[in-house]
Each structure stands twice: as C-alpha cells, then as structure tokens.
Amino acid sequence: MLYIVPTPIGNLEDMTIRGINILKEVDVVYAEDTRTSQRLFKHFNIETPLRSFHSFNEHKVVKNIVDEIKSGKKIALVSDAGTPAISDPGFLLSRACRESEVKVICLPGATAFVPALVSSGLPCDKFHFEGFLPHKKGRQTRWKFLGTLDETFILYESPHRLIKCLEEAVEFCGERRQASVARELSKVFEEVKSGSLNQLIDYYKSDGVVKGEIVIVVSGKEPELKKKKNKYSDQEEE
C-alpha cells in the first residue's frame, strides 16, 4: 500500500509517533527533496532508503511506484513539510494508486493552513483553500472569484510577494476586509498578525524584510444590506 505521511512544518516535535514508525517500516520513502528528508530521518534515526519524487519527475515515476507497490513493497510519500498533495506533489500518485486499486492511507498530521485559519479569529466553519495563486496567467481571474466569496479564503504566498498580494486583495476585496497573515508557524519566531488589509500592508511595509513561509487568511464578503421602502414615506431605509 501507499502511505502518505505528513512531516513537521517547523517544530520537529509535531511529527507523530505513528508517522515515525511507518517511515521506519516501509521499504522505500519517496521525498520531495531527499536532502531535507535526510535531516528529518537523522533526527528520528530512520534508515529507510530515500528516492526523489518532485514536480519535475512525478509524471515519469508514478507508474514505477505503483508497480513497486503491486509487487509487494510498502511505499511512503513525504514532502519537504506538511501534508503531501496540499500545494505539493502527491495528487498524481494518489490518483494513480486508486485507479490501480492500490490502497492509499493518508496519516493525519501537520499542515500550515489549519493553524493559520484557526488562529486568525476569522470564521472557519466554512472556508475556501486557494493555495498559491498563479504568478501571471489567470491570476486576475482567480482574484475576481475570491473577491466574491462569502466564506473565509486561504492563500499561500512567498515572503517577497506578500505586500503585492495584500495590495491585490485590497483591489478585489476592499481595503476594510479583515485578514490575517501567519508566518513561521510552529517555529521560534512564529507570528500571526491580524487586522484590515490596509493595516496589514502598513505593518509589513514598516516591518522591513519579511521571512518565512506565509499563509494569508481573508474574511469573506459581508452580505449587502437590503434596502426597503418605509411604508409611511417615499424614503428608503436600510
């Protein structure tokens, strides 16, 4: 079978005991970056062989991995941090395994957007996860869609594009829309900053260089107040 194993997004203590045991028990672990995974393996004394599985080779190696599993091997998939297939390689392999009737087990574990959403103070009973926006083609189309959403939505962004992303959010959502920026989650310098989009832009422009992985959480569109006529006059009231 295929095990999809989340790995810590920062603090190594977030690695689950079950995840460690599975990585030790499987025959091979496919990793987004074997150098990153080697550090994790060294910390937890995991000696299982590592092979590469990333966005540049996943189309080529998916069939080979499925064939390995069908031959009797137990395989695990990890990404650099968080849960594979969430803005990381993994979807193609999971789908190929399902189509070949290979069992897929995804362990619960670390992912960046859940703590960012919950700690934002914004409604999280319903939400839309967008992940990374396209850099050029299709970016405005996605923003137009996001600006119409009634529910909270979540973006991933790189530090050097943070202010540009917040300014685009103002353009399509309005400067008063409430939002939250989470960075360095689970690490020593974890920061969650909340406020209106304009307040966040001012804060990060004055804060200097921004470092770390970024999760942006934006509140949904407020419902418009319906206007009705006062039956005693021709004036409209809200």
The answer to whether 110 touches 5, Cβ cutoff 8 Å, is no
Digit-coded pLDDT (tens) for 40-68: 999 999 999 999 999 999 999 999 999 99
Query: Across residues 201-205, what is the average pLDDT?
Result: 94
Digit-coded pLDDT (tens) for 121-180: 999 999 999 999 999 899 999 999 999 999 999 999 999 999 999 999 999 999 999 999
What does pLDDT average to over the chain? 93
Structure tokens at 222: 């407020």
Domain chopping of the chain, boundaries: 2-106, 113-218
pTM summary value: 0.88
Of 209, 208, 210, the C-alpha closest to 181 is 210
Name the CATH superfamily for 113-218. Answer: Tetrapyrrole methylase, C-terminal domain (3.30.950.10)
Spatial distance between the Cα atoms of 169 and 193, rounded to a whole number of angstroms: 16
Q: How many CA atoms lie within 13 A of 70 on its CB side?
A: 13
Could you tell me the fold of the domain covering 2-106? Cobalt-precorrin-4 Transmethylase; domain 1 (3.40.1010)
The answer to whether 99 touches 64, Cβ cutoff 8 Å, is no
